[in-house]
Amino acid sequence: MTANDSRTAVTITAAIASGQATARQSVMGSLERIGRLDGRVGAFTDVLAARALARADAQDAALRGGAVPGPLAGVPFAVKNLIDIAGLPTRAGSKINRERPPAERDGALVRRLEAAGAILVGGLNMGEYAYDFTGENVHDGDAHNPHALDHMTGGSSGGSGAALAAGMVPLTLGSDTNGSIRVPAAFCGCFGLKPTYGRLTRAGSFPFVGSLDHLGPMARSVTDLALAYDAMQGPDPDDPVAAPRPAEPVLSALESGIDGLRIAVAGGHFARGGDPEAFAAVARAAAALEAERRVELPEAHRARAAAYLITAAEGATLHLDRLRTRPQDFDPAVRDRLIAGAMIPAAHVERAQRFRRWYRARVLEVFETVDVILAPATPCRAPKGGQTHFVLDGVTLPVRANIGVFTQPISFIGLPVLAAPIRLDAGLPLGVQVIAAPWREDLAFRVARHLERTGVSTAPIAELS
């Protein structure tokens, strides 16, 4: 097997299981593409060639000895650099964290993916401490959108989206506190899953906002996303919020179709304040799903505001000692927001948490009559790199604070969301959020698979020579 731009996890595992390829060839193909393209893309902060090849050789030897290949056998993957990688300090996109001692072992999700046969090839660029929607990083350099290198990847899991769009790996991990998987998935044109809060363990990752943090997979096909998701599920005593529920695999039901599913489009907050193209992407998905109903998530704009407050306050609390002792070592844009966040009166944060309880109850009532809700992932296509303001609905707004306008009200109450890429034309991609009730990731997967099967949702690799 050679480096094949169209490779997916499914094709790789099939080739390895049939003996047509080796894990070493798979990893070599990935490393070759990273080496050739990453100077322009900036997706990776660490490439683990020696480790990956050693794992590949061990896997090939085991397979020659009669071992049964795992469901992700020989699949190269990479992780946002807030997830622990044994032997490296977990930098979380920061300068300060590089002085931490190297992680003693891999993060829990890395271990679970490698137990399924996948092979880690590197750590990925991200916005500092995950407080970011752009994919820009003053310490490591910005990640660039492979579909248009002068545009943002979106963030904060910018490298996770860019590595997929550039075809460097078929699978990445990101984190999502307010939209940090869904935004780069939309801007880079790939699939991303923010699972139900508590579904996937976060053990061995650097936090941002404990009550909002999620980890999740990103991929270029729904089946690849499902393979990774299934391999990572299950309780974990090392993460206090990981739910004590057994794995509920989605792969076997992926081809079940959408018959009987009640699918609606989110109105109100989710139908204004964005470019017409963002809503056109949702309309295209809705048409393919024959979803004609519209539902309202009540007070979603207030939910966004409450998420904003909780994020600023919790994030600032996490970093307060570093803000006291080394403020000059932060990205200024992050530092200024964290300092302000440290100053929020407790009464404001407590009010936001009380509102959170109310909002969750109202949204769960909506899910009594609907199974899946569609909403835009972002209000626009990827802005230009370094762009600070954009115009939405005739209003000039700061980019950083407003890219997550449609993602924040969803993650605020931990709902599972699968971001599916939509290409309206030859321009940059957009994304649609496929939102389900808590613990019903399976429904979001079935809907996304239908969109993919009907050609409405596609994730081609960028044309980079």
Partner 1 sequence: MLETRTAFDPVTYAEAAAALLGLNLDPMWIAPVTANLRVLAAAAELVEDFPLGDEADAAPRFEA
180 is catalytic: yes
The catalytic position among 80, 157, 175, 221 is 80
Give me the count of residues in the chain: 465
Enter the tokens of residue 320: 């307060």
Q: Which helix (H) or strand (E) holds 282?
A: helix 276-288
Q: Rounded distance, CA 397 to CA 296, Å?
A: 24
Give least dist CB 261 to partner 1, A. 20
Instruction: Provide the phi-psi class of 198: left if phi over 0, else alpha when psi is between -120 and 50, else beta.
Output: left
Q: What are the start-end ranges of the E strands in 161-223?
A: 171-176, 191-194, 214-219
Which residues contact residue 59 at a Cβ distance below 8 angstroms, ignoring those fewer than 6 apart?
Answer: 23, 73, 74, 117, 119
Nearer CB in complex with partner 1: 256/317: 317
Give least dist CB 248 to partner 1, A. 13
Q: Which helix (H) or strand (E) holds 313?
A: helix 300-325
Nearer CB in complex with partner 1: 3/333: 333
Give least dist CB 438 to partner 1, A. 4
Q: Which of 219, 265, 284, 293 is nearest to 451 (CA)?
A: 284
The catalytic position among 160, 180, 221, 457 is 180
Nearer CB in complex with partner 1: 167/195: 195
Q: Rounded distance, CA 438 to CA 329, Å?
A: 39
Give least dist CB 293 to partner 1, A. 23
Give least dist CB 327 to partner 1, A. 7
Point out which residues bind partner 1 (CB under 8 A): 196-198, 211-212, 241, 299, 301-302, 305-306, 308-309, 312, 320, 323-324, 327, 332-333, 335-337, 339-345, 348, 350-358, 360, 401, 413-415, 438-439
Nearer CB in complex with partner 1: 112/356: 356
> What is the DSSP-derived secondary structure letter of residue 168?
S
The catalytic position among 156, 160, 205, 457 is 156
Q: Rounded distance, CA 32 to CA 344, Å?
A: 48
Nearer CB in complex with partner 1: 40/351: 351
156 is catalytic: yes
Which residues contact residue 349 at a Cβ distance below 8 angstroms, ignoring those fewer than 6 apart?
Answer: 309, 310, 313
157 is catalytic: no
Give least dist CB 396 to partner 1, A. 15
Nearer CB in complex with partner 1: 4/211: 211
Burial of 120 (0-12, 13-18, 19+ CB in 10 A): buried
**Catalytic residue list:** 80, 156, 180
